[in-house]
Amino acid sequence: MSGNMNITLKVWRQNKASDKGRFETYAIPNVSEDMSFLEMFDILNEQLIIEGKDPVAFDHDCREGICGMCSMFINGRPHGPLKGVTTCQLHMRSFKNGDTIVVEPWRAKAFPVIKDLVVDRSAFDRIIAAGGYISVNTGNAQDANSLPVAKENADHAFFAAACIGCGACVAACKNASAMLFTSAKISQLALLPQGAPERNTRALNMVAQHDAEGFGSCTNTGACEAECPKGISLSNIARMNREYLGAALMS
């Protein structure tokens, strides 16, 4: 039978980026261990609304580990204590009765706080817009067999494409670098023949946009890979560096 627990939450509250934030403490009784972490926040917000208080703003959408919106820093770790899961996939059984859980937004200059636990991650969109596309000729679809892709390349492209753009890599990095995200998007297309026409400009433009957004540099601590819910490999950063250097030499 499922057990219930009493949980104390210390939640970061901030009205907007220019305001000074603070922690507020909330007691939540009778939390089912089968609840997801976000369902527990739903209970908290219902409680706050009944009390006539402002509910905690947090991002969510699919709640299936796909959209990457559930960006919470939980007890000092992006997405919480488990490896390979997003916040929406985290369940309260990962905590104990009487625990105090500290919840904060992503901390990065390039991810300004919108409100409470919601940050503006549109910098990722601008990095994608800078080069994360392929040119496609109109007309009949090309026969798949006419564009052979090596199995190893196809696998690595698929693994890179698993990135959901949640920003955990930025939150985990001491430099607030988004190189793991950027390199995954560059690698995904660099490994496929469809990405060849924009290969050089893609690497140059996406890295330049990364830097322009205010993300830090990569110092290869590996924290990004360790905290990535989709296990995106650091090898993508090495591939991005090769792509960037080759494109710079040819420009």
> pLDDT digit string (tens) for 161-217?
999 999 999 999 999 999 999 999 999 999 999 899 999 999 999 999 999 999 999
Report pLDDT for 63: 95
* Class level of CATH domain 121-135+148-250: mainly alpha
Report pLDDT for 146: 77
The domain limits of the chain are 4-114, 121-135+148-250
Report pLDDT for 137: 73
Cα–Cα distance list, 61 to 13, 25, 89, 115, 150 (Å): 21, 25, 12, 17, 35
Overall average pLDDT of the 77-90 stretch: 97
Tally Cβ neighbours within 10 Å of residue 144: 8
Does the pLDDT of residue 220 top 90, yes or no?
yes
Tally Cβ neighbours within 10 Å of residue 19: 11
* pTM of full prediction above 0.85: yes
What's the CATH number of domain 4-114, 3.40.50.300, 3.90.79.10, 3.90.1170.30, 3.10.20.30?
3.10.20.30
Q: Give the model's confidence band at 1: pLDDT under 50 very low, under 70 low, under 90 confident, else very high.
A: very low
> Helix, strand or coil for residue 169?
helix
State the residue for tokens 């090495």. Answer: 238
State the residue for tokens 């402002």. Answer: 54
